Amino acid sequence: MIKVGCCGFPTSMKKYYENFSVVELNSTFYEYPRMETVEGWRKKAPENFEYTVKAHQDISHKEKMKSTNACLEAFEKMKKICKILNSKILLIQTPGSFRPDKLGDVEKFFKEINRDDLTIVWETRGPAWESPQVYEKLRQVLESVDVVHVTDPFRVLPVYVGDVAYFRLHGLGEQMYYYQYSDLELQRLRELIAPYEKSGRTVYVLFNNLLMFEDAIRFREYLSKGVFPKIPSLSEVLEKVRFPTSKNILMKRFGWRLVEVEDGRQERLGSFLANLPSKAYESLKELLRDIEAVKKA
């Protein structure tokens, strides 16, 4: 089974519930909600809707996964939140500054916590974790404590997954989160996660890019129907531009967006904007006129 959703609510809860059956609750990373608030989230959601929960930064950033009283207490708070939400998965995400030399602390922490029936998943971040030597040591630790390795599959595949595989999609552009996945990239994503589904695991695919809501819908439609919904045309995307504007602003805010061109291909809007003259644009009509001139040149 493949479950598709977003990291956080990119739209209203009502609209999200209408489109997806799982969400990664991210607000718990920044603050501990009141239990009455958590109960409200559970009541608002459909009965079969699933929350996965991101652990508070006290665990990952402040206490740095050490078995301190503060860290263990923070974990217990997260367990209470998960219980109210009927959540089966708790995500711990460590920062890029968290190095592999801390693996001993991590192993001790995972052995000391009382997880009950929670599945713990851990996202390591940064290139220091991606060398073959570190990967083998990480695999040994995660397998011994039964903690699922979370990765972005376009960057690297997990060393251990258990009964659950959990993937977070952050985008592939220079600005990382400012990204929209093409149909070809989503097809590749399907290929990357297929072995985990075929082996009987439950596979979570959570999008965390700026267009996460749209990309998650497109990927879900592709999984269920084998075809992708159409993406907006160049003019449809540019209708959202506020004028007056400049080439530099257009490149920053819209250059990473995909548009569908005449023959059905998908292109980054930046490929059209890059050759525009550097001037102020007063209207959509003027902008489209210059883009057409560039395309014909």
User: DSSP of 69-110, one letter per residue?
Assistant: HHHHHHHHHHHHHHHHHT--EEEEE--TT--GGGHHHHHHHH
Residues 184 and 272 grouped into a single domain: no
Q: Does residue 28 sit in helix, strand or coil?
A: helix
H or E stretch covering 258: strand 258-260
Answer for the pair 128, 97: CB distance below 8 angstroms, yes or no: no
The reported pLDDT for the residue numbered 297 is: 66
What type of residue is 112? Answer: E
Nearest-Å Rg of the Cα atoms of the chain is 22
Let me know how long the chain is.
Answer: 297
Which pTM was predicted? 0.94
Residues 207 and 75 grouped into a single domain: yes
Residues 85 and 30 grouped into a single domain: yes
∠48-54-60 over CA atoms, to 5°? Answer: 160
The residue among 249, 241, 266, 268 whose CA lies nearest residue 257 is: 268
How many whole angstroms separate alpha carbon 136 and alpha carbon 129?
A: 10
H or E stretch covering 183: helix 183-198
Domain end (from 169, 193, 225): 225
Residues 114 and 196 grouped into a single domain: yes
Ordered per-residue pLDDT tens for the chain, 297 residues: 999 999 999 999 999 999 999 999 999 999 999 999 999 999 999 999 999 999 999 999 999 999 999 999 999 999 999 999 999 999 999 998 999 999 999 999 999 999 999 999 999 998 899 888 899 999 999 999 999 999 999 999 999 999 999 999 999 977 778 999 999 999 999 999 999 999 999 999 999 999 999 999 999 999 999 999 999 999 999 998 999 999 999 999 999 999 998 777 899 999 999 999 888 999 999 999 999 888 776
How many whole angstroms separate alpha carbon 69 and alpha carbon 50?
A: 30
How many whole angstroms separate alpha carbon 134 and alpha carbon 148?
A: 16
The reported pLDDT for the residue numbered 295 is: 79
> Domain holding 220: CATH number?
3.20.20.410
What are the φ and ψ backbone dihedral angles of 4, each rounded to 5 degrees? -115, 135
Neighbours of 284 (CB within 10 A): 15
Domain end (from 173, 207, 225): 225
Number of independent structural domains in the chain: 2
- What is the domain extent for residue 18? 2-225
Domain end (from 190, 225, 260): 225
The reported pLDDT for the residue numbered 44 is: 95
